[in-house]
């Protein structure tokens, strides 16, 4: 192992340890605190992006991950916790995790919501031991949500991801390779 990759591994692990120590959802927050964060994320989306209202109305369920913390240097990772809501009632809690390797450096936080547009997509998500974001996932940015009609989103995409609230110094916020696992907060 040369010095560069070894340094990258050490710095990447150090960045993840530093992120774990920050005030983020990696800690042991309870269901009430997690639900409060989910409520805030939902309210933020509804009040700041009225173009997403069709998604709210047509979806069969919505998974909110109110804070995802991501960081790395060559080797990176991301984690966050959230809740699945059906008819705006929490039915399950989930952890989102991702590991990555490549040309990357920095740290960021963001939020995302997965809108399950079909009963089959919602069922596949709920009854799998660990569901990973895949080709079935379509992205919508909140600023483009108003221009995307129901026909282009709900007919062709069983799951729509909306990434919002990015802050930090890292290029992009992607959900590819994210694994969602049911948890007990």
Q: Domain ranges in the chain? A: 3-183
Cα 52 to Cα 27, 28, 107, 145: the distances in Å are: 31, 31, 28, 5
Say what the pLDDT of residue 93 is.
97
pLDDT number for residue 96: 94
Q: What pLDDT shows up at residue 156?
A: 58
Q: What pLDDT shows up at residue 101?
A: 80
Are the CB atoms for 94 and 66 separated by under 8 Å? no
Assess contact for 65 and 73: CB atoms under 8 A.
no
Find residue 93's DSSP bridge partners: 83, 183
Rounded CA separation 74/56 (Å): 37
- 3-class DSSP state of 103: strand
Residue 133 is predicted with a pLDDT of: 63
pLDDT in tens, the chain (185 residues): 444 455 544 445 454 444 443 444 444 569 999 999 999 999 999 999 888 999 999 999 999 999 999 888 888 889 999 999 999 999 999 999 988 787 778 888 889 999 999 999 999 999 988 877 654 454 444 544 333 333 334 445 798 888 888 787 765 455 557 889 999 88
């Amino acid at each position: 192992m040369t010095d560069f990759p070894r340094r990258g591994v050490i710095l990447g692990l150090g960045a993840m340890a530093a992120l774990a120590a920050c005030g983020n959802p990696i800690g042991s927050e309870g269901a009430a605190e997690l639900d409060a964060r989910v409520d805030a994320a939902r309210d933020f989306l509804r009040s700041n992006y009225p173009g997403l209202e069709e998604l709210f109305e047509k979806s069969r369920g919505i998974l909110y991950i109110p804070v995802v913390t991501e960081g790395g240097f060559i080797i990176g990772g991301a984690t966050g916790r959230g809740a699945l809501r059906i008819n705006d009632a929490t039915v399950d809690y989930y952890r989102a995790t991702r590991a990555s390797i490549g040309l990357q450096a920095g740290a960021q936080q963001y939020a995302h919501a997965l809108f399950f547009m079909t009963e089959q997509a919602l069922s596949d998500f709920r009854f799998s031991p660990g569901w990973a974001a895949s080709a079935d996932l379509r992205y919508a940015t909140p600023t483009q949500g108003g221009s995307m009609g129901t026909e282009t989103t709900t007919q062709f995409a069983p799951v729509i991801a909306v990434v919002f609230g990015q802050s930090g110094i890292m290029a992009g916020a992607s959900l590819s390779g994210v694994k969602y696992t049911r948890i007990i907060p």
